[in-house]
Structures are given as C-alpha cells and as structure tokens.
Amino acid sequence: MDKVIGILNGMEYTIGDSILELSYLIAALLFVYGLKLLSHPATARTGNLWAAGGMGLGMLTTLLLHKDAGGNGIPLTNVWIILAAIGVGSAIGWIIARKVKMTAMPQLVSIYNATGGAASMLVALLEYPNAVAGDIQSILVTVLGLIIGAIAFSGSMIAFAKLDGRVGDIMKPFMTYINLVLLIVTIGIGVYIIISPNQPSEMVWAIYALLVISLVYGVMFVMPIGGADMPVVISLLNSLTGIAAAMAGFIYNNQAMILGGILVGAAGMILTMLMCKAMNRSLINVIVGAFGGGGAAGATGVEGSIKEIQLSDAAVLLSYSQKVVVIPGYGLAVAQAQHIAHELDALLESKGVEVKYAIHPVAGRMPGHMNVLLAEADVPYEQLVEMDDINPDMPNVDVAIVIGANDVVNPAAYDDPSSPIYGMPIIDAHLAKNIIIMKRGMGKGYAGIENFLFFNDKTRMLFGDAKASISKLVSEIKSM
C-alpha cells in the first residue's frame, strides 16, 4: 500500500506521487542539459541521448506510479497496449532513421513535426468532452492545444509534400486575405467554445468545426511559402509542435510534458528568429511575403561572361593554394557528395593546404542541414565555420569552392535593391582570390533569381554532378 505522506489541495499525497513528481523534475533537467549539448555539433549526439533518457524516465515512472483520482494505477491491459505502441513506434523510427537519405532529412523532420502536432491535437479532441463547463482554464488549454496541434500537423504535412516535390507553391496576393479570414474564423470559434456556458458534450459540433478550420488554415498558411523560406517554416512548425505538447501537458497536469513542450517551443522560436535575422527579414515578412521559388526579380544588372575551368587546372590551383574554403549547399546533399568532399579536403590538407567549410545558417532545406550532412561524412567539427566567423577571412582565401550553394553566396544580396534577397547576409565567396563553382548547369537557386557570382571575373564553373566532379578532381590531384 502506497503510504500517504501529506495532503495537497484537499488530496492525499503519497510516496509514489512524490517519486513521480521528482522523476518529472529530473526528466526536465535532462531535457535542458540535452538541449544545451545540442548547441554544438560535437556534443549533439550525446545531447539527444540525454534528452531521450529524460523522456524514457518520464514514461517509465508514469507507467509504474501514475494514479487516477480514485487512487488506481494504469490498468495492466492499457500498460501492455502502451508498451506495444512504444515498441512498434520505436521499430518504425529505427528503420526510418537507418534508411533515410540525408537529402530527405528535411522531409523526415517535417513528418516528425506533423506526428507531434497530431498527437497534441488528438489529446485535446479526446479530452474536451471531459472538461467541466465554466472551467475557463481547462477549456482554454484544450482549445489552444487543438488549434496549435492541428496547424502544426497539416502545415508540416504540406511542408513535407513541398520539400518532396509533390506539391507546388500557390503565391497569389489573394492568399494573404484568405489566410487572414481563416485565422479570424479560427480564433472566433475558439473564443466561442471557451466562453460558452453550455456543457462540453453539447459543444462537440463546435470542437469538430474548429478542428476542420484549423487543419485548413495550417494547409493554407504553409502553401504560399516556398523556396528559401522553408528552413524558417520548418523551425516555426517545430516550435508550434512544442507549444501544442505543452498545452497537452496542461490538460493532464503533467510537469514533464509542460516543461518539455515549453523548451521545444522556445528553442524553435529562438531558432526561427535567428534564421530570419540571417535572411535580414522579419517573421511576418516570411509568412506573408512568400519569398523564394517565384523568381520575382531578375538579375538585370549582371555583367560579364561565364568561364569554365578544366579539372587539371582546378587540381593545380587547389594543390598550390594555402587557404581553401568549401561552401556547401543543397546541391551537395542531392549529389550525396559529402564523403568525397571530405576526401578532397583531407587530400589537400596532406599537401599543407588549410581547408575550412563555410556554413550559412539557412543553407539546405532545414536548420543545420549542412552540419548534419558533413557530420555524417566525419568532417572534423573544427573545420565547420559559421558565416559570421568566416566572412572576415574570405579576402585571404586562395580558392572558394562552391558546391551546390546558390542564393547564400549571391552578391545580388549586396548589389541589387530589386532582388528579393537584397539585404540578406551571405557568405562572401566573391571576395576570395579565386572561385570555383560546381553545378550541373546554369539553373537558378531556390529563390529563383540569377546568381551574380557566376559572372564574376574570378569565377570558374566546373559543370557536372558534384560527386563525380570531386571524385575526378581527387584522382587528378593524386596523380600530380
């Protein structure tokens, strides 16, 4: 028999309750510590393990010690169902993690965001009928959990479909007004449910109407946003998923869920704002402006001509350089060239060349995409240098190798006020003494605009698949 050790708010408090609450506190501390370790690539893997340990602790103690209002634990049948669901989910997650390609990592993150939002949405949907009429606080968190979870779910699914090339962009001026109407209707129905004196069982129709409107708004909210803004959108949706999880925690008065959700929501929002800063744009401008993919502004001020470079010339140039900076982009991920790129930098370093990788905050299709990609290839973390740290040294760089990056090195951000990326901080590849750009062809970047860097007098184009080109370049350097 669990010993009663006190009374709180008129309810008996047992040793088991104390241990459960303490485990939630420890889980929250593990979340914080894991999040801290995620701030650096060298410790990110360990951070994930600590955070997962916190989640495991919270789940285990809940299964063993949770009691309902009557003092009864979780029925054994439910425990087995929960364990079976955890087992199946873990197996599916393990298989996906082992098989997913790095190019599909942004899509996977979107799917994970969607499942988190869906879970919070379903919790709110199922728990609303159990709320008490007039309990504003309980109904408020339930309604917010439903709205935010539904938006995170449907929005993340559209983000997945867009990143996977299954859905295009709808970038029409009227979309802003449609979204504004949907948002007002969503808020209106939510307020009506919260202040209604009717019993929740009588308001089921309203909660389902709110669910549908919220799902539609999530779709319409993400649909106009395309191109270079997708990393910001993914981060924002991740933040929404965390906030929705926190709302679910309030519904169940579960401290671990509340703290975990708040941490995810806050971290996601901070990352979103940092990336907006890296693009020199406000969050409202990202959501409403629908930048990227539309090709709004052309490069009317481009001067110069495209010049190619032969593999043998590139090999000589790199071999006799002192400083080389590799600037990766989504094209590196598409070509799966991260391993051969690491082989190239190791080969150059064996010849006494200093090689660094310049990482732009929004390079790729999700936050930290290039860091993850290069970490997979075992590139030393010390070689990964953020944009703000590498830019002051770019004039001293002998060769800047641009592999699959486009908009994040486009000098139009400095030179063309009519460009949609004007004012966006970029990696100053144009300041290097020599520039080699590896591309399949002359296609525009994700923002849909011409790249001024292609026409720079110091630029030489090395056309072809990045993986094949770098492989040939490695062979050429070895034969010298």
Give a yes or no: residue 302 inside a domain.
Answer: no
Question: In the numeric block, which tokens belong to residue 265?
Answer: 């929501």
> Is it the case that residue 1 has pLDDT exceeding 80?
no
Residues 134 and 42 in one domain: no
> Is it the case that residue 441 has pLDDT exceeding 60?
yes
Q: What is the DSSP letter of 73?
A: B
Q: Nearest 10 degrees: CA dihedral of 428, 434, 439, 445? A: 20
> Is it the case that residue 64 has pLDDT exceeding 70?
yes
Residues 260 and 373 in one domain: no
Question: Which of 49, 82, 99 lies at the terminal end of a domain, its last residue?
Answer: 99
Residues 276 and 210 in one domain: yes
| Among the ranges given (143-157, 322-336, 338-352, 405-419), the one the predictor scored with the smallest mean pLDDT | 405-419
Question: In the numeric block, which tokens belong to residue 83?
Answer: 């364990």
Give a yes or no: residue 279 inside a domain.
Answer: yes
pLDDT band at 235 (very low <50, low <70, confident <90, very high): confident
Predicted local distance difference test score (pLDDT) of residue 468: 92
Identify which has the larger pLDDT, 226 or 222: 222
Predicted local distance difference test score (pLDDT) of residue 439: 84
Q: What is the pLDDT of residues 177-205, one digit of tens each?
A: 888 899 999 999 999 999 888 888 888 89
Instruction: Report the candidate in 439, 238, 420, 432 with the shortest Cα–Cα distance to residue 330.
Output: 439
Q: What is the pLDDT of residues 22-57, one digit of tens each?
A: 998 899 899 889 988 987 777 888 999 999 999 999
Predicted local distance difference test score (pLDDT) of residue 294: 42
Question: In the numeric block, which tokens belong to residue 67?
Answer: 């009691």
407 given a catalytic annotation: yes
Residues 277 and 191 in one domain: yes
Residues 230 and 272 in one domain: yes
> Is it the case that residue 157 has pLDDT exceeding 80?
yes
Residues 207 and 283 in one domain: yes
Residues 345 and 289 in one domain: no
Q: What is the mean pLDDT of the chain?
A: 85
Question: Which of 99, 133, 163 lies at the terminal end of a domain, its last residue?
Answer: 99
Q: What is the pTM of this model?
A: 0.79
Give a yes or no: residue 306 inside a domain.
Answer: no
pLDDT band at 395 (very low <50, low <70, confident <90, very high): very high
Residues 327 and 273 in one domain: no
Question: Which stretches does DSSP call E strand in 177-231?
Answer: none
Residues 113 and 237 in one domain: yes
Which H helix or E strand runs over 28?
helix 15-37
Q: What is the mean pLDDT of residues 389-397?
A: 95
Q: What is the pLDDT of residues 79-132, one digit of tens each?
A: 999 999 999 999 998 998 888 877 777 888 899 999 999 999 999 999 898 887
Which H helix or E strand runs over 13?
strand 11-14
Is the Cβ–Cβ distance between 139 and 193 less than 8 Å?
yes
Domain encompassing residue 205: 104-294
Instruction: Give the pairing type, strands 323-328 and 354-359.
Output: parallel
Give a yes or no: residue 301 inside a domain.
Answer: no
Residues 258 and 140 in one domain: yes
Q: How far apart are CA 320 and CA 348, in angstroms?
A: 9
> Is it the case that residue 414 has pLDDT exceeding 50?
yes
> Is it the case that residue 304 has pLDDT exceeding 90?
no
> Of these residues, 17, 229, 345, 407, which one is catalytic?
407
Predicted local distance difference test score (pLDDT) of residue 146: 95
Residues 391 and 275 in one domain: no
Cα dist from 190 to 47, 144, 194, 208, whole Å: 37, 8, 6, 11
> Is it the case that residue 69 has pLDDT exceeding 80?
no
Predicted local distance difference test score (pLDDT) of residue 448: 59
Identify which has the larger pLDDT, 202 or 428: 428
What is the b/e burial string over 301-329, where b = at least 16 CB atoms within 10 angstroms of the residue's CB?
Answer: eeeeeeeebeeeebbebbeebebbbbbbb
The single-letter code of the amino acid at 54 is: G
Q: What is the mean pLDDT of residues 248-255?
A: 85
Give a yes or no: residue 471 inside a domain.
Answer: yes
Question: Total structural domains in the chain?
Answer: 3
pLDDT band at 292 (very low <50, low <70, confident <90, very high): very low
Give a yes or no: residue 206 inside a domain.
Answer: yes
Identify which has the larger pLDDT, 226 or 156: 156
Q: What is the mean pLDDT of residues 409-415?
A: 88
Identify which has the larger pLDDT, 443 or 239: 239
